[in-house]
Structure 1
Amino acid sequence: MALWRVRATVDDRPGFLAVLTASLALRSVNILAVQVHTTEAGAVDDFLVDAPDALTEDELVAAIERGRGRDAWVSRSDVYGLIDPPTHALGLAARLAADPDGLHGALSSLLGGALVRREAGGATATGHSDTTMRLADPLSHGGALVVTRLEPAFTPAEFARAQALVEVARATVTRRMAGGVVLLPDGAEVTFRPAGSADVSAVHEMHSRCGERSLYLRYLAGTRGPSRARLSRLLTPARGCTLVAETTEAAPSAGLTGLPGRQLGGDFPAGLAPASASAPAGGSHIVAVANLIGEGETAEVALLVEDGWQRRGIGTALLRRLLALAGPAGFRSVTVHTHCENDAMLRTMRRLPHPARTDRDGSLISATIAVTELRTTV
């Protein structure tokens, strides 16, 4: 007996798959595994079969066509074809979580030996044709991964799986770039790391230690900050990332001007600790939070630093870290919003590398920078 990979399109109607399998059975072909890929042209059935040694490729194709299969593709396989596809994909994802630089090899393995090459720079539309996939490259700024396979034709399901592997690599790259210990100019150490849902309470408490002016400049309106539900969404955005800065040291003072961002939330419920509350005694505590959130090709940056930790370099360091993460996150530009009265943030914005555009709308100033300009400057 010999192992074959078989792929054919059948009408997505009741009984048509049974007709195909019956036709294969008449030639003593045993189906070991099957996947169904839904496409506009019909259901693409992908089989791993065990066929008699004497059965030729032409005879196998003829059996498929007699079973109402069309656009048939057959290829010899081996024992590695017996690996369960979901198990194979999960194994590749685990490898990427440990080493995102292996993305090329993982995509090639997932897609049956497809050729993967990197295309640098420029706007890149993702999508696929029968022979080519284009995927955003999380390891470069604005680049693309071009995946080529002459046959069988790529299906939407395969494209979705490839995108999922890219997202695993992207998440790993983001986590590695986001974390680290930062030594402030005054000698204090602050740890940067990605935020998570477990940080909601700590970030909620940090807001309660911020003065009204800091929150006004951060949210561009009078507010005590976002609700817990909104805060949870801000800490785990669907697109982009959120960083927190935490330390074991006590703040030396309070009441300084905060760093702003765009209005992203509503009001806190009543009953919060007063804004002058001190940081928790003992253990680590969060003293700043920074958001990189967007849709499409543009992201917005928002920062809030606890009053007693302002003007010590945390905001600038967080901003630069977010700008460095924008490319791997798939953004082509980043925008920072602030009030014209926020001198501290304006100074920070002037230190940004090559702002592409600065706009003013009443009291609001916005600075936009192209991610492609960040490759050699951040």
Structure 2
Amino acid sequence: MALWRIRATVDDRPGYLSVLTASLALRGVNILTVQVHTTEAGAVDDFLVDAPDALDEADLVAAVERGRGRDCWVARSEARGLADQPTRVLGLATRLVRDPDATGEVLRALLGADEVTWRPSPAGPHGGIGATTMLLADPTGGSFALSRQAPSFTPAEYARAQALVELAATTVRRDADRVTLVLPDGAELAVRPATGDDLPGVVALHEGCSTRSRQRRYLGGAALPSPTRMRRLLEPARGLTLLATAGSGGAAESVVAMANLLAEGDEAEVALLVRDDWQRRGLGSALLRRLLGHADRAGYAALVLHTQAENAPLLRTVARLGRPTPVERDGAVLTVTVPLAAAATGRVDAPAPADRGR
């Protein structure tokens, strides 16, 4: 017995796939896996089969055609083809997370492409596929051009490939956001985007903050947020959460600050929590500026901060941005808006000392 890959198009109508598989079965061909790719021309069925040694490529093509298949492509396969497609794709995705520079090699392995090249010219908003070519948009700029003589590319393959390219771009952007921050007093911290795995460290951050710091962050609530809420803060549906960590990494690393950018509509709400022993050292200002830069690049119209009127340190931090910042007051809570459409100089309109805390 020998392993073969067979790809053929059949009419997307009830019973047509069974006719094709019956034709293969009559010749002793055992179907190991099958994938169905929906196209405008019909259903493209991709088989991995175990066929008798006596059958050659022409015999398999003839069996497919007798089973109402057309545009048949047949090629010998290897044992590694036995791995199911989801497992293969997950393995390739893991490789990309570890090495985004391997995008071209991953695309070649995913699609069996004859050639993969990166071009500085964009692919347009949607890229596209032809019978032997595929153009993928690279979110970091440029595009990937792929070619394969046979079999023809399908929309499903295009979607998988584009998803892997976007994963690589996301990894690149995440790595680019990992920086070493040097504070004015010479202390060094690592700043990076948060993930769900950071939940224990963020819980420890909240436990290490004073009641007053937690009240300022959550506008009166001193209790620790629930794990569910913390997870949402770590990985917001839209926006970004940055963590500042001290230590050499691993078990010795401790989270000393969290900065949240939570987007809603064309605005993004910002909130900071800095452990008490790291306050008044420039850390909050540095994190706020990084979130400001991210919001500018993402095209948000404004940043919004809700804070207690007595939170003078945060108001000074916002003032150091050097942008006009309108302030609205609702009792003891201030809403500070930082427009992002155009940079301008200005200072935050902090309440007069006599008004604070009333």
Offset of residue 2 of structure 1: 6.2
- How many pairs align? 315
Q: Distance in 2 between matches of 1:332 and 1:46?
A: 40
The 1:61–1:211 alpha-carbon spacing in structure 2 relative to 1, beyond 3 Å, is closer
Q: How does 1:50-89 map to 2 (within 5 A)?
A: 50=51, 55-57=56-58, 60-70=60-70, 72-79=71-78, 82-84=81-83, 85-89=85-89
Offset of residue 111 of structure 1: 1.0
The 1:76–1:284 alpha-carbon spacing in structure 2 relative to 1, beyond 3 Å, is closer
Equivalent residue, structure 2, for 1:159: 158
Among the aligned pairs, what percent are the same residue?
A: 47
The 1:208–1:367 alpha-carbon spacing in structure 2 relative to 1, beyond 3 Å, is farther
Q: Distance in 1 between matches of 2:154 and 2:93?
A: 20
Q: Distance in 2 between matches of 1:367 and 1:208?
A: 33
In the alignment, does 2:111 pair up with 1:145?
no
Equivalent residue, structure 1, for 2:338: 365
The 1:322–1:83 alpha-carbon spacing in structure 2 relative to 1, beyond 3 Å, is farther
In the alignment, does 2:288 pair up with 1:347?
no
Over alpha carbons, which structure has the higher Rg? Answer: 2
Task: Give the match's secondary structure for 1:348.
Answer: coil
Equivalent residue, structure 1, for 2:255: 286
Q: Distance in 2 between matches of 1:126 and 1:241?
A: 26
In the alignment, does 2:237 pair up with 1:210?
no
Equivalent residue, structure 2, for 1:275: none
The 1:31–1:187 alpha-carbon spacing in structure 2 relative to 1, beyond 3 Å, is same
The 1:202–1:20 alpha-carbon spacing in structure 2 relative to 1, beyond 3 Å, is same
Identify which of structures 1 and 2 has the higher relative contact order when contacts are C-alpha pairs closer than 8 Å and 6+ apart.
1
In the alignment, does 2:210 pair up with 1:237?
no
Q: Distance in 1 between matches of 2:238 and 2:304?
A: 22
Offset of residue 104 of structure 1: 1.1
Task: Give the match's secondary structure for 1:185.
Answer: coil
Q: Give the residue type in structure 1 aligned to 2:160.
A: R
Offset of residue 100 of structure 1: 1.4
Query: TM-score with structure 1 length normalisation?
Result: 0.64
Could you report, residue by residue, the CA deviation over 1:23-56 in whole angstroms, capped at 9, with x for unpaired residues? Answer: 2234454434322334565432101343656645
Q: Distance in 1 between matches of 2:234 and 2:80?
A: 41
The 1:115–1:366 alpha-carbon spacing in structure 2 relative to 1, beyond 3 Å, is farther
Q: Distance in 1 between matches of 2:264 and 2:76?
A: 42
In the alignment, does 2:282 pair up with 1:313?
yes
Task: Give the match's secondary structure for 1:152.
Answer: coil
Q: How does 1:148-297 map to 2 (within 5 A)?
A: 148-149=147-148, 151-170=150-169, 172-197=171-196, 198-199=199-200, 200-202=202-204, 204-205=206-207, 206=209, 208-210=211-213, 214-215=216-217, 224=221, 228=226, 229-238=228-237, 241-247=240-246, 286-292=255-261
Q: Distance in 2 between matches of 1:210 and 1:44?
A: 60
Name the Cα RMSD after superposition: 4.4
Task: Give the match's secondary structure for 1:82.
Answer: helix
Q: Distance in 1 between matches of 2:134 and 2:264?
A: 22
Q: Distance in 2 between matches of 1:345 and 1:316?
A: 8
In the alignment, does 2:272 pair up with 1:304?
yes
Task: Give the match's secondary structure for 1:93.
Answer: helix
Unaligned runs of 5+ in 1: 249-282, 351-357, 370-378
In the alignment, does 2:17 pair up with 1:36?
no
Query: TM-score with structure 2 length normalisation?
Result: 0.67
Q: Give the residue type in structure 1 aligned to 2:181.
A: V
The 1:18–1:211 alpha-carbon spacing in structure 2 relative to 1, beyond 3 Å, is closer
